[in-house]
Amino acid sequence: MRKTIFYTPVLSRAMHYIARAVLAALGWGYEETGNRPPKYVVIAAPHTSNWDFFYTMLVAFALDIKVYAMGKKSLTEGPFGRLMLWFGVIPIDRDTSNNVVAQTIETFNSRDELIIIIPPSGTRNKVAYWKTGFYHIAHGAGVPIALGYIDYKRKKGGLGPFITPTGDIDSDMKRIRAFYRGVTGRYPERQLG
């Protein structure tokens, strides 16, 4: 995987302090629960606005987390494409089957440290269900799932508890969904109910 802004020593250290200052100036806070393991999948939910990426990056810098984030391929094209790649966006082509789950599991297995953010809704629009690729990646790679969030009501972002996938996706998803019932997206009407 390519080096990103998070692996640019002087700049990433500066961004750590800049992000904390920007969040404070905007009236936002950041928080996390528990100790972070070296490898995990982060759910990015709820995902209802383009602003979610902005706040997610600020929170990642503030918490000093070196992340990659899965996003639609079009984010890495056009005039800002290179910038998005530098910010760690992993382009996903939704029009073709590229076996993203298997490739991501292989990447986790070949690394000592890796954090990948995945928005389970896959879109900013209202959806009837979450895509479960994040779950299959975490379970297949034997890594936990961090419940990441941007809560516009409380003006806080961060990492909630870590869930270790048991293989019982229905039971695990009930626990995950229970956490997100208390989190409000920028456009609550677009959240999964």
DSSP 141-168: HT--EEEEEEETTTTEEEEEEEE---S-
Q: What was the pLDDT predicted at 124?
A: 57
Q: What was the pLDDT predicted at 95?
A: 65
User: Of all helices (H) and strands (E), which one includes residue 52?
Assistant: helix 51-62
Q: What was the pLDDT predicted at 2?
A: 74
Please say whether the dihedral angle defined by the alpha carbons of residues 78, 42, 108 and 68, taken in this order, is positive or negative. positive
Q: Print the domain residue range for 144.
A: 5-190
Q: Which CATH number does the domain housing residue 141 bear?
A: 3.40.35
Are 47 and 119 in contact, with CB atoms under 8 Å apart?
A: yes
Kindly give the confidence (pLDDT) of every residue in the chain, 193 residues in length, as a single tens digit, with 9 standing for 90 and above.
678 999 998 999 999 999 999 999 999 999 998 789 999 999 988 888 889 989 999 999 999 999 998 888 888 888 889 898 998 888 887 666 678 888 899 999 999 999 999 888 755 566 667 888 899 999 999 999 999 999 999 999 999 999 999 999 999 999 999 999 989 999 888 887 5
Q: Alpha carbon of 33 to those of 117, 147, 162: distances in Å?
A: 17, 10, 8
- When divided into structural domains, the chain yields a total of 1
Helix (H, G, I), strand (E, B) or coil at 172: helix
Quote the tokens at residue 111.
């690394």
Q: What's the pTM value of the predicted model, to 2 decimals? A: 0.88
